Amino acid sequence: MLMDNYKLIIKDKDLFDLFFNQVPYIWQAVDRSVKQDQVYQPACLYKESVQVIRAVDKFVDDLKSGSLPRATQLGISVTGHAEFDPLFLVYFKTLQFERKMFDMTYLELGLNWIYFQKFLEEDAVKLPSNTACIEQVLLGSDGLQERKQQWSPSKFTYLKAWKLINFFSDLQKNPSYIEETNRQAQQVEDDINRAFADFDTLLSIQQEVYTLVIDVRFVRTVGQAENESLGQLIKQVLKDRADLQNVIFQLIPDWLHLHTKLEHDYQNGLKLSCIFILRSYSIDQEDVIVARLQALLRNSFSHYDAIDVVNGNEFVRTHGRKHAVGRIGINTPVRVEQFKYWVLSYFFKRDSFAKLIHPEISFKVNEVYVHQNWQQPEIKKQAVSSKISPPPKNLAQVVQEYKVPKGIWDVKHLAKRVADRLLVSQIYYKEFCAEQGMSKQHGEWLFQIEVFIETLLHNQQPAFNEVRSAHQTYFLNARDMQASATQLGQQYLSLVKQIVGDFNFFGQIDHLIQNYGLRTWWFGHEDNLSLRMVFQQIFTDLIFDQPVDSAVLGQLNTKLQAVRNYFLAKQQSEVNKRELLEKHYAQGVRRHTDTREYLNSVLEQNCWAYRITVNASSSKGYLKQSELSKLFTEFMRLAKRAKPCYWLHGYVGIWQETNWQIASEFTLDVVLFFNDRCQAQLQTLVYDLDQRWNKFLDIKAAQTLKLQDAEDIKYHGAIKPKILMRSVDGLNTEDKTQSTYYVCLEAHDRKMKKRVIEHVIPYFAYWNVFHAPFSQIVPKAFIKGVILKK
C-alpha cells in the first residue's frame, strides 16, 4: 500500500539549518585589508551569506504576514508582534552584508534575493546622490570607467528600510513576480512529489531498502583556485560526469534508484551529491564503501587536484534525524517520512536557494537513474561461510577507525616554561580563529600541532615501536597501530585523522599567517615557509589508498626523525629570532603577573566589563600610532571628570595594527571596567563614549597634537563595542535582539571572575607575541590603568 505524502516537504527553517551546516566558515568579520584588495576574489559562498539569503526570505514572509516590527519615528504602524521601536532597525541588520561575501558567478540564488539586488541597484538611481547610505560603485575597465549609484548593502537607515518595505509590497502585486514565484514553487513541489511517489512504488515492491547519501568533492588547492576559474572545473566535471558515475555504479552494483546532483561545494570546488537506494542485503559498512570509492576515483581520475568522498549519511544523522537514512522498511512509516523530509525534499528544494550554473553553457543539475532490475523483488541470500580473510584495509580506513586516547594533548610531560607557553597559545589561537569567523576547533588544532612539535623535539622515543620482526611483513589494522604508538605516535595519528577530515586545513593556516599576521611559535609571518612545508609533508605525503604494512611504521619513524633534525638545525641557525621571541614572551609573562594582580584588585567589587575598539583618522589619512596614543591619553584625562568615564574602575588593552599589508592603521583594543553606578546607562554607554570621542577630536585634536597649519584638517573617529571573548562561553556577550556587549562581573561570582582572569588577561598580555612587529615604533604595545588606591 502506497503511503500518503501529506506535508513532508521540508520547511524553510530546517532547510536553511542543513544548508548552513554544509557551508564552511570563512570570514565572519571581514578583514579590512581583504575589503580593500581589489584583486582578491573569494571563490566561496560563506556561512554569513546563507544567513543573509535566509534573512531576505524571512523578510518577505514577515511582510506578507504583517509581522514586521513597528517604526514609530516615521509614523509607520506595521501591525505585528514587535513592541519596541529600537527593534525596527535591529531587525533589518540581518539584511546587511559585505559585497565580497557573495561570489555569484557560478551560483543562482533565490528569486527574492534577485529582487533584493534589484532594489539595491534600481531604487537607488532615483534618489539624490547625497542620500544617506547611497554609494557610488565604480564599474568598467580598460580606462572606460563609470560610476553607478546604489544602496550600500552594509548599512540600513529608517528611510532605506521603509523603501524596501514599499518595494516588496508593490512587488507582491506584480503579475510577473507572482507568476514566477508560483511557477518555481510548483516546479519544486512536482519534482519532490514525483520522487516521493517513485520511492513509495519501489518500497512496495522491495519491502525494505537501504538509503545511502554520498558526496564526491572535487577539491581545488588555494593556489589552483587563484589561477583557474571554477568555470573550468565545471566544464571538466561535466565532461567526466558519465564516466565518474559509471565507476560509482560498478563499485555499488546493487543499487535500485539513484539521484545525482552537481553542486557548488561552497568552498573551492564542486560536489557530486548522490542518493543511493539499495537492496537492503547488499550494504556493507558505510565507511568501507566511502574509503573504497575514494581510492578508486583518485586512481581513475588522477587529473583532478584532489577527490574527497564524504559519508553524507553521517551529516544527515548529525544535522537532520538519526533514522532518516540507512535501513528503511515499508513497516517503518516514521523512517519513511523522515527520509522523504530530511533527504529527498531537501535534495530538490535547495535549488530554490542556491543552484549551480555556468554563464556560458547550460547543463542538467539533477539526474535520476533507475536500474533495469529495480522491479525484481529481493531474493534472500543464504550466508556463505568462508575462511578467506578480508582484504587488508588502506591507511584512510585504518586512520578512520583509530580511536584517539584521552590525555594525549596534556602538556605535563614537557618543561614547565614550555607547557605554560603552550597553554597561553591555546587560549590565543582559539580566540584568534573565532574572531576570524573560523571554528574554535581550528585554534585547538593549531595548539595540538605545537604540542606535537614540542613533544617531537623533547622526546627521544620513536613514534612507533616494532610489533613484529622486520622480516615478517604483514598488514596492520587500527588496533595494531594503536598498540605500537608511543605518546608521540598517538599525537601524530590524531593529527592525521583530523587533517584527513579537512584537507584544506593547512591552506587555511597559511591564509591566516600570510593575510592576518598570525605568528605561531614555529611558523612566523613571512618567515619559516620552508619549515611549514617540511612539517606539512609528513601529513600530506601519506598514501591513503594503500594498505598499511608493518614496514610503514619504520618509514614513519624515519620521516619524523628527519623533521626533528630539521627543526633543531633551523633553531640553531635562527638564534637571534628565537632570542627575540623568548624576549617578547618573557615580557608577556611579566605583564601577565602584573595584570593578574591588578585585575584581582579591580574585581573585588561589582563591575561591568565592556570591550571596545578606538580609532581615529584625519582628512589627510590615518594617524601615526604615537599621535593616536597622545589623543587617547588626553581624552581619558579629560573624560574621567564626567560620565561615563567618571565611573571607570580600571582598564587593560593592546594596540593593534590593521591593513599592515597596504597602509598602517592603528586601533586600540581595550576592556573597560565600570563600577555599579553606570547601570542607568548600560545600553548607551558605548554610544556616549563614541559621541564624546568625536567631540573631543573635533575640538581638541589639533591642539593636543600641536600641529602647524592644521586649520583645514578635520578629525573623526569611532569607539565601537566588541564581544569580550568569542571563544569563551559566558564571555561571548553579543545579544542580537538588544545588541548588548557588556558583561556583569559580580564580586561573589568566582566562576565568572576566573574566566576573565584565565582567558582575557593571557589574550591581551601575550598578544604581540603572536603577531608580526608593528610597522612603527610603539613604546607600549600593552596598556593598563593605574593601581587602585586601597
How far apart CA 271 and CA 181 sit, in angstroms, is: 27
Cα 398 versus chain centre, distance: 28
Phi, psi for 617 (deg, rounded to 5): -150, 170
- pLDDT, residue 192, reads 92
How far apart CA 23 and CA 19 sit, in angstroms, is: 7
Average pLDDT over residues 561-577: 85
How far apart CA 135 and CA 151 sit, in angstroms, is: 6
In terms of Cβ atoms closer than 10 Å to its own Cβ (0-12, 13-18, 19+), residue 524 is buried
Question: Looking at per-residue confidence, does 369 or 2 come out higher?
Answer: 369
- pLDDT, residue 79, reads 42
DSSP state of 23: S
Nearest partner of 339 among 318, 329, 324, judged by Cα: 324
Question: Looking at per-residue confidence, does 437 or 314 come out higher?
Answer: 314
- pLDDT, residue 389, reads 53
Lowest average pLDDT, out of 295-299, 371-375, 499-503, 546-550, goes to 499-503
How far apart CA 573 and CA 528 sit, in angstroms, is: 12
Average pLDDT over residues 97-107: 79
Cell numbers for 668: 586600540
Average pLDDT over residues 318-346: 92
Rounded to the nearest 10 degrees, the angle between the axes of helix 625-639 and helix 685-705 is: 120
User: Strand, coil or helix: what is 714?
Assistant: coil
- pLDDT, residue 141, reads 44
| Cβ count near 518 (within 10 Å) | 23
How far apart CA 419 and CA 425 sit, in angstroms, is: 10
- pLDDT, residue 81, reads 39
pLDDT level of residue 26 (50, 70, 90 thresholds)? low
pLDDT level of residue 626 (50, 70, 90 thresholds)? very high
Q: Which of 39-48, 602-611, 638-647 has the highest mean pLDDT?
A: 602-611
Phi, psi for 713 (deg, rounded to 5): -85, 125
Nearest partner of 723 among 703, 704, 739, 702, judged by Cα: 739
How far apart CA 427 and CA 444 sit, in angstroms, is: 9
Cα 438 versus chain centre, distance: 4
pLDDT level of residue 76 (50, 70, 90 thresholds)? very low
Whether the bond into 390 is cis, omega within 30 of 0: no
pLDDT per position as a tens digit, 255-270: 899 999 999 988 778 9
Asked if 211 and 256 touch (Cβ cutoff 8 Å), the reply is no
String of b and e for 740-775 (b: at least 16 CB within 10 Å)?
Answer: ebbbebeeeeeebbebbeebbbbbbbbbbbbbbbbe
H helices of 98-174, where? Answer: 111-118, 124-125, 158-171
Instruction: Using alpha carbons only, give the angle 415, 421, 427 rounded to the nearest 5 degrees.
Output: 135
Percent of the chain past pLDDT 90, that is, above it, reads 35
pLDDT level of residue 18 (50, 70, 90 thresholds)? very high
Instruction: Using alpha carbons only, give the angle 748, 751, 724 rounded to the nearest 5 degrees.
Output: 105
How far apart CA 285 and CA 277 sit, in angstroms, is: 15
pLDDT per position as a tens digit, 209-241: 999 999 999 987 655 666 678 888 999 999 999
User: Strand, coil or helix: what is 767?
Assistant: helix
How far apart CA 488 and CA 28 sit, in angstroms, is: 35
DSSP state of 98: -
Mean pLDDT of the chain: 83
- pLDDT, residue 467, reads 55
Average pLDDT over residues 687-691: 93
pLDDT level of residue 115 (50, 70, 90 thresholds)? very high
How far apart CA 745 and CA 607 sit, in angstroms, is: 5
How far apart CA 325 and CA 335 sit, in angstroms, is: 8
Average pLDDT over residues 149-168: 89
Average pLDDT over residues 663-679: 90
- pLDDT, residue 471, reads 43
- pLDDT, residue 383, reads 40
How far apart CA 442 and CA 509 sit, in angstroms, is: 9
How far apart CA 157 and CA 645 sit, in angstroms, is: 29
With a cut of 70, say whether residue 527 has pLDDT above it: no
Lowest average pLDDT, out of 45-54, 289-298, 472-481, goes to 472-481
Which string of DSSP letters, residue by residue, matches 416-463?
HHHHHHHHHHHHHHHHHHHHTT--HHHHHHHHHHHHHHHHHHH--S-S
For residue 387, the number of C-alpha atoms closer than 13 Å in the C-beta half-sphere is 0
Nearest partner of 192 among 364, 13, 7, judged by Cα: 7
User: Strand, coil or helix: what is 144?
Assistant: strand
DSSP state of 44: S
Could you tell me the pTM of the whole model? 0.54
Asked if 94 and 348 touch (Cβ cutoff 8 Å), the reply is no
Rg of the chain in Å (alpha carbons):
30
- pLDDT, residue 785, reads 87
With a cut of 80, say whether residue 474 has pLDDT above it: no
How far apart CA 633 and CA 785 sit, in angstroms, is: 11
| Cβ count near 634 (within 10 Å) | 16
How far apart CA 760 and CA 780 sit, in angstroms, is: 18
With a cut of 70, say whether residue 708 has pLDDT above it: no
| Cβ count near 515 (within 10 Å) | 17
String of b and e for 310-347 (b: at least 16 CB within 10 Å)?
Answer: bbbbebbbeebbebbbbebebeeeebbbbbbbbbbbbb
For residue 150, the number of C-alpha atoms closer than 13 Å in the C-beta half-sphere is 16
| First-to-final CA distance of the chain | 83
pLDDT level of residue 390 (50, 70, 90 thresholds)? low
Q: Which residues make Cβ contacts (< 8 Å) with residue 325, sequence separation at least 6?
A: 211, 212, 213, 312, 313, 316, 317, 339, 343
With a cut of 80, say whether residue 82 has pLDDT above it: no
Place of cell 531474493: 379
pLDDT per position as a tens digit, 392-449: 788 888 888 888 888 899 999 998 999 999 999 999 999 998 888 888 888 898 999 9
- pLDDT, residue 602, reads 92
Instruction: Tell me the pairing of strands 782-784 and 648-658.
Output: antiparallel
How far apart CA 446 and CA 432 sit, in angstroms, is: 11
Asked if 88 and 82 touch (Cβ cutoff 8 Å), the reply is yes
Lowest average pLDDT, out of 329-333, 571-575, 594-598, goes to 571-575
- CA dihedral in degrees (80, 81, 86, 87; nearest 10)? -100
Average pLDDT over residues 173-180: 92
Residue at 130: amino acid letter: N
Average pLDDT over residues 492-512: 80
